[in-house]
A and B are shown apart, each in its own frame.
Chain A
């Protein structure tokens, strides 16, 4: 079981807004470590779509928004498009484990 937890799946229709949650603890988010989000399309390597809680890398669509509050974080995708269908992983650093941790991943389905 992962140190940070995500829902296994979320879905939404084209044009809708969805939220993917990521729940941590006092030894990661609560210790002021940031959350980072990766998108993984089938058969490809993960790609960072949000880092430092709410910073979009160059080239990532502005339909993606990130936030963190306390021991929870969220990735919000607005104006859902078919190309957003992918697996999404949150990642942070855990001071108790002294290492980097990933969430269990959330499969986004665009209906």
Chain B
């Protein structure tokens, strides 16, 4: 049974760096094809994919945010960490991590999601 859970600060100040951790169980990020992604959702708005890391350590980023994002994995701890620099109030959102199901390094869908963590950016 796959589970994921996000953790991190609920409040960050503008210009600060956000660090979120996704702790998962039920699968290994050393298994061929495995991937964990981050998706966010501002209040009342749509889902937005941010970043994804594969078993191979291949990393993908949303083109619009890639200059601010870094995704890393720690397979010994079953964790994936997302950092986002220079936070702004428009980055206020619920941040989800999710397990990607797919057969290659493209395509696929997110079949298991964490509960999400609300991050508010405010001074």
| Residues of A in contact with B (beta carbons under 8 Å apart) | 2, 33-34, 36, 38, 45-48, 51-52, 57, 89, 91-93, 95, 97-105
Contacts and interface: CB of A to CB of B under 8 A. Distances in A.
Interface residues of B, number: 24
B113 A93 contact: no
A32 B26 CA distance: 30
Interface string B92-104: 0000100011000
Contact of B46 (A2, A34, A99): A2
Given A33-B106, A99-B49, A102-B49, 8 more contacts: A2-B46, A38-B110, A45-B115, A48-B111, A89-B47, A99-B62, A100-B37, A101-B49
A46 B46 CA distance: 11
- Residue among B106, B108, B109 with the most chain A CB within 10 A? B109
B102 to A, nearest CB: 9
Contacts of A57: 111
A45 B106 contact: no
A97 B46 contact: no
